[in-house]
Amino acid sequence: DVKVTQSSRYLVKRTGEKVFLECVQDMDHENMFWYRQDPGLGLRLIYFSYDVKMKEKGDIPEGYSVSREKKERFSLILESASTNQTSMYLCASSKQGAGEKLFFGSGTQLSVL
Amino acid sequence: KNQVEQSPQSLIILEGKNCTLQCNYTVSPFSNLRWYKQDTGRGPVSLTIMTFSENTKSNGRYTATLDADTKQSSLHITASQLSDSASYICVVSADSNYQLIWGAGTKLIIKP
């Protein structure tokens, strides 16, 4: 089974802190994604990567950056956390191809105080 | 504007009963439609992926239908179990995994 592991289930940070969310997948997938999920809304894509060192902005990249130095690892960085970034963050991976399934991690619930 | 709308927002049924969840979309171009199940506090898990030419697809007690003409899909759950309690999310792909439009989900509660 594919495993996508997110480093933390819960995080509490202060406004202005730099926050790192880590994600590792073990199935040699080319694509990796970061989404945020807020109550009553569909998942929103922050960034995705289709190869090592490659990154593309999603629908809501403002206030975030990403890093993909190795194929299995995709990091999401909040340069200066703000309260409106309090959310559930979900990492996913997939093979290349339009019809490929996304496999998700369990998510990180981030609270910014 | 590309949109995916799901109904109802929430649903409570008794264990053993059947139910049907609805998804309407206005997405163009269309590549495929997916249903995901998301347990509370977990990431979504794929149930089905349907392309334009597929009308019906089953995964155990879950059956998804797609009407590409009316841009509607449904997810039918047969003989519900307590473990079916979850949110069910409809997702439409515009042309790749990079352009997925997510519905807000239907929260299903199964009562014993």
Q: Which of A7-16, A51-60, B42-51, B88-97 has the lowest mean pLDDT?
A: B88-97
Residue A43: closest C-alpha in chain B = B102
Percent of chain B with pLDDT over 70: 98
Question: For A58-111, what is each residue's pLDDT tens digit?
Answer: 999 999 999 999 999 999 999 999 999 999 999 999 998 878 899 999 999 999
**Per-residue pLDDT at A11 exceeds 80:** yes
pLDDT at A1: 67
User: How confident is the model at residue A85, as a pLDDT?
Assistant: 98
Q: Judge whether residue B99 has pLDDT over 80.
A: yes
Give the closest of B41, B45, B102 to A43, CB-based.
B102
| B1 and A CB contact within 8 Å | no
Percent of chain B topping pLDDT 90: 84
Which chain B residues are within 8 Å of A30, Cβ to Cβ? none
Predicted local confidence at residue B29, as pLDDT: 86
Report d(CA A113, CA A83) in Å as an integer: 6
**From B5, which residue of chain A is nearest by alpha-carbon distance?**
A42
Number of inter-chain CB pairs under 8 A, A vs B: 58
- Judge: B102–A40 Cβ closer than 8 Å, yes or no: no
Q: Is the pLDDT score of B16 beyond 90?
A: yes
pLDDT in tens, A13-43: 999 999 999 999 999 999 999 999 999 898 9
For residues B66 and B71, give the distance between their C-alpha atoms in angstroms, rounded to a whole number. 8
Q: pLDDT digit string (tens) for A38-54?
A: 998 989 999 999 999 99
Q: Does residue B11 register a pLDDT over 80?
A: yes
pLDDT at residue number A10: 96
The rounded distance, in Å, linking the Cα atoms of B28 and A73 is 32
Contacts of A32 (CB under 8 A, 6+ apart): A23, A25, A48, A49, A68, A74, A91, A92, A93
Chosen for mutation from B100, B101, B106, B107 (greatest number of chain A CBs closer than 10 Å) is: B100
Please tell me the predicted confidence (pLDDT) of residue B2: 87
Q: Count of alpha carbons within 13 Å of A41, Cβ hemisphere only?
A: 10
pLDDT band with cut points at 50, 70 and 90 for residue B97: low
Chain A environment of B3 (Cβ under 8 Å) = none
